[in-house]
Amino acid sequence: MRTLLTVFFKEVLDNIRDRRTLVSALLMGPIFGPVLFAFVINLSIDRALDDADSTMDLPVIGQEHAPNLMRFLRSRNINIVAGPEDIDGAAEAVKAGEHDVVLVIPANFGELLADTVPAKVELFSDEANSQGEKEARRARGALHAYNQQLATIRLSARGVNPMLLTPINVDAVDVSTPSGRSAMLLGMMSYFFIFALLMGGMYLAIDSTAGERERGSLEPLLSLPVTRDQLILGKIFAACVFMAASLMLSLISFYVVLKFMPLEQLGMTPNFDLGVVLAAFFLLLPFILLGAALMTLVASFTKSYKEAQTWLSAVLIAPTLPILVVSILTLRPQLEFMFVPSLSQHLILVDMVKNEPLNGLHIAISVCSTLFFGALLTWVCARLYRREGLLG
């Protein structure tokens, strides 16, 4: 036990003094997630607000032919600006990305309207450009509304009930709760936690295997009167502590970031108070042993620090795979999923954030299975540490 603690404290001290480890454990992981998250959320808030409230510039060719239409568009917060010279110019400008949309009104627009012949207007847009597509949709919507308005007036003038034009009235009802809507975006949160957690122990895992070997400190260490099991366990536990610290920091930084984010504007009220922060910490705690053992295991196969870094970057991605698959297929939490580490934590965390009742059995299975895999990998690590080939 003393050996284990000696190794543990030495590794902690050694790595606290190593700026690279410290930066990756206590800064990179915990900061990277929330910053990226804040960025994405702000972007979607901007976009959501764009649609309804912001003024949109619409270049129009031949404004003078349709003064009423122009007035109608302005009333819908669409700012009419001068467009290119002619139709060819309009197509060119949209293609070149100078304008997202251009509306072209022909000279005979008024005449056609008066003759109750469908008056043709042209709307140029680039559907491959997502911003342009959005503006085009908005312009089309406005034109459609004007169309409806004119039709209603015409029918009324002829003594026909305009209701005849709307045999069906579709009313879409969104049943998601504000917390539920949060879960979609906040679903990526769980990956950030796992990422930060793994990042926290990455350099320690490399250092205690490939690093020791490259430095030449492994051989004298192995010639000491201690068992290799004690050495590797001490190293894995030190990695666990760094991972736990990194996880806690990233949870707290998320908590702080969410406080300052105008999520209500997106119709989201995530359930992420201090209680959930703590619950999430304990939920992810079993994953720490698994992560530390996995990273140490992978690093122990590599020949150099550089090679270990390359491989461990891949390990950082690995826990996303089950999360990704389930997100794409939009699968609901099932009992079988709880046996899969990272996926089970993700699903339970999403439920927590959605403020939905938690399934005790699911949590128990998640904890036990993750701990089991963690213990298994730790055992494999210890076995590998006894190999002669360890010295490379």
Partner 1 sequence: MIRVDGIHKSFGKVHAVRGVSFAAPDGKITGLLGPNGAGKSTTLRVLYTVLKPDEGTASIDGADVVTDSLAARKNIGALPHGAGLYPHLTARENIAYYANLCGIDKSEVDDRVSGIITLLEIEEFADRRTKGFSQGQRTKVSLARALVHDPQNVILDEPTNGLDVMATRSLRRLILKLKDAGRCVLFSSHVMQEVAALCDDICIIANGQVAIDDSIDGIRERTGQSDLEEAFVCAIKMVGEE
Cβ proximity to partner 1, 18 vs 356, nearer residue: 18
Binding of residue 303 to partner 1 (CB under 8 A):
no
Residue 235: closest CA among 213, 208, 261: 208
Nearest-approach distance from CB 222 to partner 1, in angstroms: 5
Binding of residue 332 to partner 1 (CB under 8 A):
no
Cβ proximity to partner 1, 202 vs 285, nearer residue: 202
Helix boundaries (H) for the chain: 2-16, 19-23, 29-52, 67-75, 87-96, 109-114, 130-157, 178-206, 212-215, 218-222, 228-259, 274-301, 305-317, 320-329, 343-353, 360-385
How far CA 294 is from CA of 245, 289, 385, in Å, comes to 18, 8, 13
Question: Which residues share a beta bridge with 102?
Answer: 124
Q: Which stretch binds partner 1 (CB under 8 A): 192-200, 213-221, 272-280, 375-383?
A: 213-221
Q: Which stretch binds partner 1 (CB under 8 A): 53-61, 217-225, 292-300, 355-363?
A: 217-225
Binding of residue 304 to partner 1 (CB under 8 A):
no
Cβ proximity to partner 1, 3 vs 108, nearer residue: 3
Q: What end-to-end distance do the CA atoms of the chain give, in Å?
A: 28
List Cβ neighbours of 109 (8 Å cut-off, separation of 6 or more). 62, 65, 66, 119, 121
Nearest-approach distance from CB 204 to partner 1, in angstroms: 12
Q: Using DSSP, state whether 250 is helix, strand or coil.
A: helix
Cβ proximity to partner 1, 94 vs 381, nearer residue: 381
Nearest-approach distance from CB 242 to partner 1, in angstroms: 14
Binding of residue 160 to partner 1 (CB under 8 A):
no
| Of 3, 44, 152, 369, the one binding partner 1 by CB under 8 A | 3
List Cβ neighbours of 53 (8 Å cut-off, separation of 6 or more). 77
Nearest-approach distance from CB 134 to partner 1, in angstroms: 53
Cβ proximity to partner 1, 167 vs 389, nearer residue: 389
| Of 113, 155, 226, 316, the one binding partner 1 by CB under 8 A | 226
Cβ proximity to partner 1, 3 vs 359, nearer residue: 3
CA–CA dist 53, 59 (Å, integer): 19
Binding of residue 1 to partner 1 (CB under 8 A):
no
| Of 46, 102, 194, 217, the one binding partner 1 by CB under 8 A | 217
Nearest-approach distance from CB 221 to partner 1, in angstroms: 8
Nearest-approach distance from CB 322 to partner 1, in angstroms: 37
Residue 342: closest CA among 310, 373, 302: 373
Nearest-approach distance from CB 286 to partner 1, in angstroms: 29
Phi, psi of 25 (to 5 degrees): -75, -45
| Of 168, 224, 314, 329, the one binding partner 1 by CB under 8 A | 224
CA–CA dist 139, 73 (Å, integer): 9
Residue 7: closest CA among 296, 310, 318, 388: 296
Strands 101-104 and 122-125: antiparallel
Torsion of CA 294, 298, 299, 300, to 10 degrees: 100
Nearest-approach distance from CB 14 to partner 1, in angstroms: 5
Give the x/- contact pattern for partner 1 in 5-34, rule: CB under 8 A: -xx--x--xxx-xx----------------
Instruction: Provide the binding-site residues for partner 1, judged by CB under 8 A.
Output: 2-3, 6-7, 10, 13-15, 17-18, 215-217, 219-227, 388, 391
